[in-house]
Amino acid sequence: MKKGFKDFLLEINTEELPAGCVMPALESLYNAFIGQFTALGIDFDPDVSAGLRMATKNTLVCYIKDVSPTQRTALKEVLGPPKRIAFDEKGNPTKQAVGFAKNQGVDVSELKFKQTPKGEYLVFEKQEASRATKDILREIIPVMIKGISFAKTMRWDDSGLRFARPIESVLALFGNESISVSVGNVAQKKITVTPERYLKTLKRSCLIDASERKIKIRKMILDAAKKNGADPKADEKLLEEVTFMVNLPEAFTGSFNKEFLDLPEEVLRASMAKHQRVFPVMKRGMLINKFVAIIDGKGRDENKVKRNYENILEAKLKDSLFFYEEDTKKVFSGNAPQLKDLIFQKDLGNMFEKNQRLKELSGFICDSLGISGSLKSDAQRAGELSKSDLLTHMVGEFPSLQGIMGREYALKSGEKKEVSEAIGEHYLPQGIDDALPKSIAGAILAISDKIDNVAGFVGMSSGKLSGSFDPFGIRRNALGLIRIIKDRSFRIELGPLIKKAIGLYGGKLKIGPSELKKTIIDYIKDRIGFLMGNVRPLELKEAVLGAGGCDISDIFKRLDAVLSMKDSEYFLRAAKVVERTGNILKGAGKEKIGEVNKDLLRDDPERAVWDAYLKSKDEIKDLIDKEEYSDATRKYAETFYEALHEFFDKVLVNTEDRPLRMNRLAMMKAVNSLYAERVADLARLPQIVVKG
Amino acid sequence: MKKLSFVEVVARLNEFWARQGCIIMQPLDTEVGAGTFHPATFFKSLGHEPWRAAYVQPSRRPTDGRYADNPLRMQFYYQYQVLVKPTPSNIKKLYLESLKYLGIDTKTHEVRFVEDDWESPTLGASGLGWEVWLDSLEITQFTYFQQIGGKELDKISCEITYGLERICMFIQNRFNVFDLEWQDGLKYGDIYRQQEIEYSKYNFDEANIDMYLKMFESFEQEAANLINKGLLYPAYSFVLRASHAFNVLDARGAVSQGERPRYIGRIRSLSKRCAELYLAPKPDKEEA
């Protein structure tokens, strides 16, 4: 540690915070300090790993090592009069120079000259006052605490202070000195100890380190599973939550009556997670009648606690069984009258209509893919039933089981297995890492649902899509449908599908169909670009997305092809052809370019280009149609590179003779679009250099 | 310590909270879904006046009926409600002490405070706090009120709502509510089983839908008239009746998903007007 540098620690003790907000709160606090320190010129150790670990349900510890005791001193330049005014011919300071020096409280000899765009000026390099970090901390800590962002905040006393839950006390240590912090009516802890020592004390009383705690809990669950001969798996989402519910984890394994295993697996999981935050146990992929509970604190009477957990779980499962039996008394149907009362979105009609739209869209997708017969009718039937489970008791109790219960109840009502599976999978994928539908009918229905959501949500809003604010999950829906189509290599042009989806809303949408379609396609292309990941050069994404329509599988195919040949000579030559023709066309601005008139081709080099075009265009188009992009590129380069070189050398495209100019532009367009509109608009690449 | 009967649990909670300066009140005589609806909570949490009260409130939730078949869920049960305003900083500690006072060993059992954003849409009320779990059984709802009757509160009240049956289940170690000891060997089921079965049948299958629809309209109209006349307490009692009528209609399956928010909105707007009336200056009082 540098001399005088000290560790800084801020501990906020609260009543139990919501599990999901603990780490984001700590991150927000830590980043705010780092940001302030940087802005104020206070040096610190930027190693995040130490500072961003210590957090429990009721403690946030922001720990920053090696913080300088004072601000870095900066020299601030104060500009004085220009040199020519500040000194006379003899080089003596004028009144102006003396006055300026006086104002700065120094002698003229302490001033310097500085070259500026306006000439040479007199300047004073002023040493800014440096403040003690301790004093700055006292000022900024309350601001930092109040600035932590939470989804929801509350008041608890007359101070009006807001936080996710009441703050009990605050401790701020800089070195071994505690800094008094005045925030609301919150109590201050005052002790004389270094942050390092204090952390040691904390670690003795609980597992303050969140990642250590998580690892320990995971191990407890896996050990318990091992003891029962079960699969070593832990529900990671639940694990994350439980990590912020217990400070000193202890585990036990409980069991429940086997009769409850008749309930769908997801119901058991949901009940365990929601009502008790206990972990299900699987053997060879099947749930068994056991669970692992993680409880907080040492010295519990494990037998009694376990018996209570078991009794309560059975009571809750009994309730699930009640829902299940009530729900299965009714036939699962796509046109239950109550569906018309169930609103999809305020301006987008009801769930009966949604079922009908998904039936239509699934049929449309099948037709586009050339799917007919039972697969098509299954996908359509699944669409018709897709939202019906929203009426059931079980989904009312466990909203996360939407789709899943549809699958179960459809099966119980005698629907085909394929139909039920498709219903069960149509909300997939829920997130960026989530699994995709396993069945084809499920994939088709999932695409239908997502394109219907995107069309509706974009169409009912202002049509403006913002990156961060996405209350309807438009981004999730768009990414989901791209992933499914790509994964399945479905060949489907999105334009007509989006048009169909918009049309099915029958005038409910606020934006006109063609404008809306364009907005959605642009948005989806943007998301495709995001999914393309780290492509170098970045412009390749644009080049590929800028060519052709919106056939997702083809876009990725073209991207792969372009990436695999991007360093080859023929690719660079093809790129040069597209670039040069593209540049000429750009220069033509908005002039309307027509067809090539053979009779207007005067010079040999231009006739050579046109002959090459006529000779090879069909072959190139054919290769592109067959998606043999590498061969197509090679052929394109061979056909045009030399000929164009000659052409540009000898022929002036932008001649004064308008008919001639327009004819040459038409030829440039034909050559350019042959590749740029079908494979990749390589004119967008940065500086293309062809060797040799 | 002897295992407390249901009656003894209530007595002990009364003792405990009376010692904390709470006025021990009696239940409201109108059908309500929770202790929050009692004027001692709904009105008294408004404004600046300090207030501390505790009371038992029989609560009805028609959709929760299970024909006495479920060990935990009933359409009729008892809440023990504590309201403390303003919230003292040691309120959580006091609550844990109250559990100890009931003989619950919080060292050998696990008490967990699980995030819960409480809301009563019909009362225009919301707050932040927790469900309190005792060995994973939800025994209490612990809430810092933020809004009542659609109004951001001047002073923050803390509402502690004990589920009396659940606490007794735990204390008596009987995991079926109907097996609980009410008093001197008399079981909870001896008193309430038949009622529970009959009301479940009534709420789900027999309640006269037409009658309740008319009742809802009439109660709403009466509440509105009485608010206009400045008769706060009678007006509020009709808001509560309308609310219960809605709950019965809901259990009976007579309220569609689309209509639900509208019904709730109608009740909420009456609740809000009652809250406004309660807070309005009272010229009569000053004269008296």
Give me the residue from B86, B113, B256 closest to A157, CB to CB. Answer: B86
pLDDT of A78 above 50: yes
Q: How far is CA A643 from CA A606, A631, A650, A671, A673, in A?
A: 8, 19, 11, 11, 17
Nearest CA in chain A to B111: A296
CB–CB of B175 and A315 under 8 A? yes
pLDDT of B285: 52
pLDDT at site A463: 57
A206-262 tens-digit pLDDT: 899 999 999 999 999 999 999 999 988 899 999 999 999 999 999 999 999 999 999
The second-level CATH assignment, the architecture, of B6-203 is 2-Layer Sandwich (3.30)
HSE at residue A692, side-chain half, CA atoms within 13 A, is: 5
Q: Can you give the length of chain A in residues?
A: 692
Q: Could you tell me which chain A residue has the CA closest to the CA of B155?
A: A158
Mean pLDDT of chain A, nearest integer: 91
Across the range A341-362, mean pLDDT stands at 90
Task: List the domain boundaries for chain B.
Answer: 6-203, 208-282
Which amino acid, residue A640? F
Chain B nearest C-alpha distance from A306 (Å): 8
- B86 interface with A at CB cutoff 8 Å: yes
Residue B284: is its pLDDT beyond 70?
no
Q: Cα separations (Å) of B163 from A375, B61, B74?
A: 52, 14, 12
Residue B288 confidence (pLDDT): 40
Instruction: Specify the amino acid at residue A580.
Output: R
Mutation for B interface: A154, A158, A245, most B CBs within 10 A: A154
| Cross-chain residue pair B136–A322, CB shorter than 8 Å | no
Does B256 score more than 80 pLDDT?
no
CA distance B227 to B233: 9
The arithmetic mean of pLDDT across residues A441-468, rounded, is: 87
- In this prediction, residue A343 carries a pLDDT of 81
The helix (H) or strand (E) run that includes residue B251 is helix B232-251
State the complex-level ipTM: 0.93
Nearest by CB: B112 against A158, A166, A296: A296
At residue A692 the predicted structure's pLDDT band, cuts being 50, 70 and 90, is: low
pLDDT of residue A471: 76
Q: Which residue of A has its CA nearest to B138?
A: A275
Selected for mutation to probe chain A from B61, B69, B104, B112 (highest A CB count within 10 Å) is B112
- Find out whether A683 and A579 touch, Cβ atoms under 8 Å: yes
Unique residue bearing structure tokens 């206990």: A278
- Count of A-B CB contacts under 8 Å: 108
* pLDDT recorded at residue A414: 94
Smallest Cβ distance to A152: which of B89, B117, B155? B117
Please choose, from the candidates B107, B72, B126, B198, the residue with its C-alpha nearest in 3D space to the C-alpha of residue A276.
B72
Which 3 state secondary structure label does DSSP give B70? coil
Give the A window 11-30 contacts with B, CB below 8 Å: 15-20
Element (H, E) at A121: strand A119-127
Which is nearest to A59 in space by CA: A275, A183, A177, A205? A205
pLDDT value, residue A108: 86
**Using the beta-carbon criterion (under 8 Å), do A275 and B128 form an inter-chain contact?**
no
The answer to whether the Cβ–Cβ distance between A342 and B257 falls below 8 Å is: yes
List the single residue in A156, A275, A338 with the smallest CB-CB distance to B87.
A156
- Write the pLDDT tens digit of every residue in A399-440: 999 999 999 999 999 999 999 999 999 999 988 889 999 999
When CB atoms are compared, the residue of A20, A185, A309 closest to B136 is A309
Q: Check CB contact under 8 Å for A245 and B146.
A: no
* Contact assessment for residue A556 and residue A486, using Cβ atoms and an 8 Å cutoff: yes
Residue-wise pLDDT for A581-639, tens only, equals 998 888 887 778 888 988 888 888 989 999 999 999 999 999 999 999 999 999 999 99
Distance from CA of A316 to the nearest CA of B (A): 8
CA–CA dist A421, A440 (Å, integer): 10
B208-282 CATH choice from 3.40.50.10540, 1.20.58.180, 3.40.930.10, 1.10.10.10: 1.20.58.180
Per-residue pLDDT band for B287 (boundaries 50, 70, 90) equals very low
B92 part of contact set with chain A, CB < 8 Å: yes
**Mutation site, B84, B96, B115, interface A, largest A CB count within 10 A:** B115
Q: Considering only A77-81, A256-260, A644-648, B255-259, which range has the smallest mean pLDDT?
A: B255-259
Nearest-CB residue to B135 (from A19, A157, A308): A308
The verdict on B136 touching A (C-beta cutoff 8 Å) is yes
| Largest pairwise CA distance in chain B | 59
Q: How far B97 CA lies from chain A's nearest CA (Å)?
A: 16
Cβ contacts of B127 on chain A, cutoff 8 Å: 154
pLDDT for A690 beyond 80:
no
Note which residues in 41-80 of chain B have CB less than 8 A from chain A.
Answer: 66, 69-73
3-state secondary structure A301-360: CHHHHHHHHHHHHHHHHHHHHHHHHHHHHCCCCCCCHHHHHCECCCCCCEHHHHHHHHHH
Q: Does A35 touch chain B (CB under 8 A)?
A: no
CA-to-CA distance for B237 and B240, rounded, in angstroms?
5
- Rounded mean pLDDT, A306-332: 92
Q: What is the DSSP letter of A432?
A: T
8 Å CB contact of B258 and A350: yes
- Residue A377 three-state SS: helix
Report the gap between the CA of A594 and the closest CA in chain B (Å): 57
- Whether residue B104 contacts residue B162, with contact meaning beta carbons closer than 8 Å, is answered with no
Average pLDDT over residues A331-344: 82
Q: What is the pLDDT of residue B259?
A: 80
A250 at the B interface (CB within 8 A)?
no
8 Å CB contact of B87 and A278? no
Determine the Cα–Cα distance for residues A675 and A680; give it in Å rounded to an integer.
7
Burial of B248 (0-12, 13-18, 19+ CB in 10 A): buried
Residue A346, chain B, CB below 8 Å: the answer is no
Tell me what the mean pLDDT of segment A262-289 comes to.
Answer: 94
Query: In chain B, which residues have their Cβ closer than 8 Å to the Cβ of A278?
Result: 136
